Structure 1
Amino acid sequence: MTSTTSHPPTEQANLESNQKLSADELLVGRHSDTTPQLSVVMPTLNEEAGIRTCIEWIKTAVEELQVPTEIIISDSSTDRTPEIAREMGAIVVEPDGEGYGYAYRYAFERTRGAYIAMGDADTTYDFKQIPRLLAHLEETGGDMVMGSRLDGEIEDGAMPSLHQYIGNPALT
């Protein structure tokens, strides 16, 4: 029986199959015929220390969501970041221009998912929260939802006042 009802991404795959797939089975390659439901974009510049952890967190989210997903790493590194990302199933693209913003735009042009999540590869963003963010987006019918890397309060003296009260809230 075919249904035309739209279901949140966390439910859609489960309706089609009772079998839970691993994240590696749900990751979609660049030339796959499967259209990803979710695209996760990370610009990287020598993030060898954090890329593995971030992709593991994304895979945890993908297993919870049970939706086809592509991980796009927009990379300008000189270290092992792109090799590690590829080994873990990510699509690595190399921007033909410079800069953080350009790396994002370059990757966005290559996304195919209905939803796009983004964050840095330095482990300051918890990609395991993607299901929670998507659920909120679905519940509210919004076009965009933003998370924050700040959890709770910042201890006195941990960050310069200018950064704490202006920079981080405005940029995070």
Structure 2
Amino acid sequence: MKLVVQMPALNEEASIGSVLASIPRQIPGVDEVVLLVVDDGSTDRTAELARAAGAVVVSHAQNRGVGAAFRTGLAKATELDADIIVTMDADGQFNPGDIPKLIAPVLNGEADFVSASRFLDPALVPEMPPAKRWGNDFMARWVSSITHKRFYDVSCGFRAYSKNAYLRLNLLGNFTYTHEVFLTLAFADVPIREVPVVVRGVREHGKSRVASNLFHYGWRTASIILKTYRDYRPLKFFSKIAGGLAGIGMLLLLFLLSVKIRTGGFFPHKWAGFAGAAFLGAGGGVFLVGIVAEMLDRIRTSADEALFRIRRVEADVRRLLGSGPRPPAGSGSPAP
């Protein structure tokens, strides 16, 4: 059983050495632990110190964002034939000693995707600015409402993925990946578990490159969530827009009707009739777009499943050509 501990890093020379040194090398149920650092365009000694600590380092020539770094790490971890991938930050906010606790549900076949939760246990909620706490809670409730599954923390980067989970990921966002992963795996009905852990609420060194500006972070994150929801639930997405437009149209026409009842004519509010008809027409057009998008989504779903099966076959072939077979982690079944 091979565990790859993957972390993105951008100018983390102050902490990356100690974080890598703290990662346990002996974990029950794991035969091999590989450290993988994605250097996302650092201008300091991050890559050098990571290599000195024994990590495999993949470097971006320039900063491309946490989402892009995550995808690069996934590609490398797949090449390394990881049975389980653990992702964590290089800034020391997470305790590497919690890795055995995090991967336990995967090893036991209880889940394919496990996320550390800062808010599941009220006794473990870290200290953080009120705005950041509210933002995390809002995002968790939003993702929960979209997926119809209750999650308490969808923004934490400390996670474990079985092979059946990470091979299903086909992500597009460069800015971040945390919410897109939750939505993608929840919509694919992958078994998900949250595990409460103690997390430092404020970085010891420097500031977050992702959430340093809460307004910018919220805007970019909301954009990713909406795009993912549009791609995986297009009819619901476009129906809500169509309903809003049609509702405005109906209100305008009812207003015009009330004018007719009160005055016996439409003057001077004929505009309401034209505007109402336009909104109703726009709503109908958007609904038709949703129907077409739903048909295309069936094709996308089939393509995603085909891609997953191809990746499983590639992984099995890589394993057969490598060091020999190992039992796969996770509760899902490998593709035939």
**How high is the TM-score relative to the length of structure 2?**
0.36
Which of 106, 121, 137 matches 1:137? 106
> Does structure 1 retain, via aligned residues, the 8 Å contact 2:22–2:97?
yes
Q: Of the two structures, which has the highest relative contact order with CA contacts closer than 8 Å and spacing of 6 or more?
A: 1
Partner of 1:108: 74
Instruction: Give the distance between the partners of 1:55 and 1:67, measured in 2 at CA.
Output: 18
1:49 is the counterpart of 2:14: yes
Shift of 1:148: 3.3
1:99 is the counterpart of 2:65: yes
Q: Which runs of 5+ in 2 are unaligned?
A: 138-152, 157-336
Which structure 2 residues correspond to residues 70-89 of structure 1 after superposition, within 5 A? 70-75=34-39, 76-89=41-54
Instruction: Give the distance between the partners of 1:62 and 1:149, measured in 2 at CA.
Output: 25
Shift of 1:132: 1.3
Shift of 1:167: 2.5
Which structure 2 residues correspond to residues 151-170 of structure 1 after superposition, within 5 A? 152-155=124-127, 158-160=128-130, 162-167=131-136, 169-170=153-154
Q: Which runs of 5+ in 1 are unaligned?
A: 1-8, 10-36
**How many residues are matched?**
132
1:62 is the counterpart of 2:34: no
Q: Which whole-Å deviations, capped at 9, do the CAs of 1:1-28 have from their partners, x for residues lacking one?
A: xxxxxxxx5xxxxxxxxxxxxxxxxxxx
Which structure 2 residues correspond to residues 4-19 of structure 1 after superposition, within 5 A? none
SS at match of 1:165: helix
Q: What is the percentage of aligned positions where both structures have the same residue?
A: 32
Query: Greater Rg, structure 1 or structure 2?
Result: 2
Partner of 1:16: none
Instruction: Give the distance between the partners of 1:147 and 1:170, measured in 2 at CA.
Output: 9
One-letter identity of the residue aligned with 1:72 = L
Partner of 1:147: 116
SS at match of 2:124: coil
Q: Which whole-Å deviations, capped at 9, do the CAs of 1:121-170 have from their partners, x for residues lacking one?
A: 00001121111112222235311111135671345xx412x311332644
Distance verdict in 2 for CA 1:50–1:148, change over 3 Å: farther
Instruction: Give the distance between the partners of 2:105 and 2:135, measured in 1 at CA.
Output: 26
Shift of 1:96: 5.3
Shift of 1:93: 0.3
Instruction: Give the distance between the partners of 1:90 and 1:117, measured in 2 at CA.
Output: 14
Instruction: Give the distance between the partners of 1:38 and 1:152, measured in 2 at CA.
Output: 27
> Does structure 2 retain, via aligned residues, the 8 Å contact 1:41–1:116?
yes
Instruction: Give the distance between the partners of 1:48 and 1:96, measured in 2 at CA.
Output: 17
> Does structure 2 retain, via aligned residues, the 8 Å contact 1:125–1:149?
no
Distance verdict in 2 for CA 1:80–1:57, change over 3 Å: same
Q: Which whole-Å deviations, capped at 9, do the CAs of 1:39-96 have from their partners, x for residues lacking one?
A: 11110000011101210121xx222345212111100211111111101100110135
Instruction: Give the distance between the partners of 1:121 and 1:152, measured in 2 at CA.
Output: 21
SS at match of 1:85: helix
One-letter identity of the residue aligned with 1:87 = A
Distance verdict in 2 for CA 1:143–1:117, change over 3 Å: same
